[in-house]
Amino acid sequence: MSVATPTTATGVGLRFTETAMEYPDGTVALSGVDLTVEPGQFISVVGPSGCGKSTLLRLASRLEEHTAGEVAVDPSALAYVFQDATLLPWRSVRKNVGLFCELRGDGKADTARRVQEAIDLVGLTGFEDHFPHQLSGGMRMRVSVARCLTVDPGVFLFDEPFGALDEISRQKLNDDLQALFHDRKFAALFVTHSIAEAVYLSTEVVVMSGRPGKILDRVPIPFAYPRDPQIRYSEEFAHLCARISTSLAGKEH
Ligand SMILES: Nc1ncnc2c1ncn2[C@@H]1O[C@H](COP(=O)(O)OP(=O)(O)OP(=O)(O)O)[C@@H](O)[C@H]1O
């Protein structure tokens, strides 16, 4: 196992250079990953189960330390949305959304302003005093996204956040997320098992191989933001999905 170069700050959002990850038990999850995500780029990662997608996010967030190559992350706030909304059940929506501000020791007035702005942005106005058990799965994910927005993230990591939702809620959250991205222009790295979701949201879709995960294909998505939900039914959209599906199957185009 080679020694990794320490993570350093750069001007870009997030950069992996020849990044590899071998877990202590000898599992090589990733090998030779070169990927840059700049502000204004929304990059989705698709790949077979166990190919190292979540590992990539954990390396970006420093929850895990890479074992070779480099991972450079913008020093400005980093946000991580997990598959589970990870809310505190005894706290109201307002108190859950304000958690990071509280932990940072932000002033009360500033926190209240940031929290309300984030709640409004994710469409939860009027639900400020509800508790997590009073919300639908989609609403809980909105709270999770709002909590991240309060720190105004430069780099936004998403680990299949909408995978557990029904199709209609998922599409609505996709619509709102791409509008939010258009508005905020953060650097986004989004892991999903849904090719259609990846194409709809992203500026580029990265296809990974089976373990150890390597980048097999990169597919730029040409649609302008904000995106019309109807693009999902266009021929171009279908072509892009087919191309990604072919890459995932390891076939030539
Ligand atoms: N802490 C760990 N120790 C050892 N091996 C691990 C650890 N975490 C993950 N792995 C292994 O690393 C590989 C990549 O795991 P990872 O969770 O990143 O894959 P994934 O692409 O996100 O999978 P999925 O799509 O099923 O969520 C898998 O083989 C997994 O078993």
pLDDT digits 0-9 by tens, 20-67: 999 999 999 999 999 999 999 999 999 999 999 999 999 999 889 999
Distance 53 CA to ligand 1 centre (A): 8
Q: Are residues 247 and 124 in the same domain?
A: no
CB 114 within 8 A of CB 146: no
pLDDT at 73 over 60: yes
Residue 72 included in any domain? yes
Contact 21, 67 (CB under 8 A): yes
What's the DSSP call for residue 129?
T
Cα(168)–Cα(128) distance, integer angstroms:
23
Q: What integer pLDDT is reported at residue 176 of this predicted model? A: 87
Averaged over 202-224, what is the pLDDT? Answer: 95
The two tokens of residue 53 are 């997608």
Q: Is residue 194 part of a domain?
A: yes
174 belongs to a structural domain: no
- Ligand 1 atom, smallest distance to 160 CA: 27
Is any ligand 1 atom within 6 A of the Cβ of residue 52?
yes
State whether the beta carbon of 25 lies less than 6 angstroms from ligand 1: yes
Q: Which ligand 1 atom is at minimum distance from the Cα of 55?
A: 18
229 and 193 in one domain?
yes
Give the per-residue pLDDT at 12: 65
* Domain assignment of residue 92, given as a range: 84-153
Same domain, 49 and 64: yes
Query: Is the confidence at residue 1, as pLDDT, over 50?
Result: no
Domains in the chain, number:
2
For residue 172, being part of any structural domain is answered with no
Do 142 and 188 lie in one domain? The reply is no
